[in-house]
Structure 1
Amino acid sequence: MGMWQKSMIAVACSKPLRAIGEAIGHKTGLADQFVSAGDVAGHVARAEALARDGIRVSSFYLGEYVTDLSQVRETVAQLDALVPVLDQTGLDIHISIDPSQLGYMQDQAILDRNVDHLAAKLNEIGLETPHRTIRLMIDMEDIDMVDDTLRLHHRLADGGYQVAQTLQARLHRTKADLRDMIARGAMVRLVKGAMAPPDDVAFTKRDDIDENYFRLSTMMLSAEAKRNGFFPVFGTHDRKLAWTIIEHAKAQGWSPEQFEFEMLYGVNQPLQRELVAAGHRLRLYAPFGKDWWAYAWRRVGENPRNLGLLMRSSMSKGR
């Protein structure tokens, strides 16, 4: 699995392959499988349609491995444009960001300025309610960025901003990081992890990652977590795991409104429908924009079965 994941990350980062892939992707429909829309208006329209089906979204503007400062500015501008339009609809304003797309690769001061600007923009809208989430969700990227990313979260949280954090179950250190987040009463999105970190810092076998994910999920549903106002978000497409978490939550006295599941846009729609029909909160990580190549192939790296989804999408829409 580690070699597969590293290979798919290499594909995602390859400029020659990206140029070829993007030339055919929109013609064949390859880009449509995991991307909600190409622009703000289309993304908001899709979010409204999903809301009618009881599904929330976390908005992500596409762009990974951003080395060009003009692309950083473009990301900020797009999210700036998105927030007021979402506010007008009354939908959740749940924005996911990668530190690497907002200035991490250029300069810490640039990252801080951009993230502070977006966090302040959300705070201006007001406090979230039981029916409306207003959060800046920080994604977790490479292993060498973990400490910097957590420091960013803590600085924003301590400053009173409505912020949340993603943690990766594949990392050995996540148990300690999660313990700190529970003590803070934070909102945490737990994912298995799309990166391929070294063996000495991460679980590499799928069964071991799954086992650690469930161990961490029980921490997120502990009495201490509930007492502290911690909000668990379970990022999984695994039906068995999802229902095991649901049963454990019931046993611990958590109501369906006190936690949520998050899935990738375009992945495992049957489970999406099943969770919503059973009365559980579901959010889709919904990217929008043009720079879809790296994102799509990272999803293939996470799960080889997604390669079939991409290929079938390409074949069926290319006819």
Structure 2
Amino acid sequence: MGFWQKTMIAVACSKPLRRMGEAVGRKTGLAAQFVSGDDIAGHVTRARDLNGQGISVSSFYLGEYVTDPAQVTRTVDQLADLIPELNAAGLDVHVSIDPSQLGYMQDPAMLWDNALKLAALIGEAAEVQSDARCHRLMIDMEDFAMIDDTLALHDRLRDIGHPVAQTLQARLFRTEADLTRKIEQGAMVRLVKGAMAPPASVAYTKRSDIDANYLKLADMMLSDAAHASGFLPVFGSHHRELVEKIAALADVRGWSRDGFEFEMLYGVNQPLQRDLVSRGYRLRLYAPFGEDWWAYAWRRVGENPRNLGLLLRSGFNR
């Protein structure tokens, strides 16, 4: 698994492969299978269509491994323009960001200023919505070396009252302790298996072990203590068996089906998506928009080799 992830990250970062892949993607329509729009207008239109089907979105402006300050500025500008558009459409203002997109690689002050700007805009939108619990700046988890800084960013924004949420990765040994603190805070946490490729000294490497730890952490997220603290669980998975076990556990524990969320990638495993919505579960799609789709696609494949087949097959399941 570690070798596979490292290989896919290398593919994602390869400029020659990106140029070739993007050309193929445009011709075959592969990019359109898992990108919700090329621009803000297309993304909002698609988000509105999904909302009519009972599906929410978490908006992500495409661009990973960001080292160019100009790209940081473009990302922040795009998201700042998107937030009022989502609000005006009556949609959840739920935006996902990677710390590197907001300036992590350049300057801590730049990262803070940009995150603060976006979180404040989402907070303003939440003030006028009747159900603002899911209006959040969702902070994604990137590489292992960034974890402490990423969690600190979440806590700093939360401590001054901004609507933030945090992604945690089930493959890491440390996540149980990190999750315990987030439950005590009454935070919103999106639990994923994890796309990074950390060393075996800090992470589970076998799929069976990762799945087992995911279920252990899900049990914590659906505990009485989590319910009492106001904690908001989000389960990011396309694995039907895992999803069904979590759904059954939530029912046994007395969680209402709109009291937590399942989250999946836009365009992936649509039969399971439709099934969950038909049964009254809250479903959110991680919905990228923009043109820089190459790194995003291969990072997802690195997270789980099965995603390659899911992405390629998804065009036949619409």
- TM-score bracket, normalised by the shorter chain, equals over 0.9
- Tell me by how many angstroms 1:123 deviates: 1.3
| Structure 1: runs of 5+ lacking an equivalent | none
Q: Which residue of 2 aligns with 1:102?
A: 102
Shift of 1:311: 4.9
Partner of residue 111, structure 1: 111
Q: Counterpart of 1:139?
A: 140
Show the 5 A alignment for 1:103-252.
103-127=103-127, 129-130=130-131, 133-252=134-253
SS in 1 for 2:34: coil
Contact 2:72 2:102 in 1 (8 A): yes
Deviation at 1:192, TM superposition (A): 0.3
Cα distance, 1:266 vs. partner? 1.0
Change (3 A) 1:125 1:312: closer
Change (3 A) 1:219 1:312: closer
Q: Partner of 2:269 in structure 1? A: 268
Equivalent position of 2:258 in the other structure: 257
CA 1:205 to 1:140, structure 2 compared with 1: closer, same or farther past 3 Å?
Answer: same
User: 1:132: how far off?
Assistant: 6.3
Q: 1:166 to 1:129 in 2, by over 3 A?
A: farther
Q: Give the alignment's Cα RMSD to 1 decimal.
A: 1.5
Q: Give 2:169's aligned amino acid.
A: Q
Matched, 1:74 2:66: no
Instruction: Report percent identity of matched pairs.
Output: 67
CA 1:311–1:276: 2 relative to 1, 3 Å? closer
Say whether the 8 Å CA contact 2:173–2:203 is kept in structure 1. yes
Q: What corresponds to 2:83 in structure 1?
A: 83
**Secondary structure of 1:96's aligned partner:** strand
Report the CA distance between 1:61 and its aligned residue: 0.2
Question: d(CA) in 1 for partners of 2:310 and 2:126?
Answer: 39
Q: Distance in 2 between matches of 1:81 and 1:130?
A: 22
- Superposed CA deviations along residues 97-118 of structure 1, whole A, max 9, x for unmatched, are 0001110011101100100010
Cα separation, 2, equivalents of 1:90 and 1:4: 41
Shift of 1:313: 7.2
Letter in 2 for 1:8: M
Which amino acid counterpart does residue 22 of structure 2 have in structure 1? E
Cα offset for 1:308? 3.1
Cα distance per residue 1:52-110 (max 9 Å; x no partner)? 11000000000001111000000011101101111111010000000011100111011
Following the alignment from structure 2 to structure 1, what is the Cα–Cα distance between the partners of residues 56 and 190? 14
SS of corresponding position for 1:276: helix
Contact 2:232 2:260 in 1 (8 A): yes
- State whether residues 91 and 132 of structure 1, in contact with CA within 8 Å, keep that contact through their aligned partners in structure 2: no
Looking at structure 1, the residues matched to 137 and 46 of structure 2 have their Cα atoms a distance apart, in angstroms, of: 20
The gaps in structure 2 that reach 5 residues or longer are none
Equivalents in 2 of 1:225, 1:31: separation in Å?
Answer: 38
C-alpha deviation, 1:300, in angstroms = 1.3
Q: Distance in 1 between matches of 2:202 and 2:176?
A: 12
Are the equivalent residues in 1 in contact too, given 2:218–2:246 (CA < 8 A)?
yes
Instruction: Give the counterpart letter for 2:137 in structure 1.
Output: L
Counterpart of 1:285 in structure 2 is: 286
Contact 1:29/1:313, CA 8 A, preserved across alignment: no
Comparing 15-24 with 225-234, greater Cα deviation is found at 15-24
Structure 2 residue identity aligned to 1:268: N
Counterpart code for 1:167: L
Partner of 2:24: 24
Cα distance in structure 2, aligned partners of 1:309 and 1:274 = 16
With 203-212 and 250-259 compared, the bigger mean Cα shift is at 250-259
